[in-house]
Amino acid sequence: MPIFVLCIVISFSFYIFYKIKFVRSNLPIEKKWISAKSSMALGLFVSLFGINQLFLFQSTVTYIVAAIFILIGGLSIWSGWKSYRYFLPLAIKEAEQFQK
């Protein structure tokens, strides 16, 4: 499925982008906020990879491995979302204090 391949490449690109932003950031809470976003991008990458495998191969081993990938990716997206929501207001306050 070409659409899954495109989404996989885009999500991995976002993961690389956020990791570069993470290294370049100097503010500690902003780093945690960016790390949460990169966690969501990596989780999306892993989940989409598992879904793509379901369409490419039809065997029992593939179903088991794809289910594990989808589960791990989903948990990564969920924990990243929770961290993102927690650190967003703190990062806004930190940015406001840094600008003053």
- Give the number of C-alpha atoms closer than 13 A to the C-alpha of residue 24, restricted to the C-beta side: 6
CB 48 within 8 A of CB 14: no
CB 77 within 8 A of CB 47: yes
Q: What's the predicted TM-score (pTM) here?
A: 0.90
Question: One digit per residue, pLDDT tens: the chain, 100 residues?
Answer: 789 899 999 999 999 999 999 999 999 999 999 999 999 999 999 999 999 999 998 999 999 999 999 999 999 999 999 999 999 999 999 999 988 6
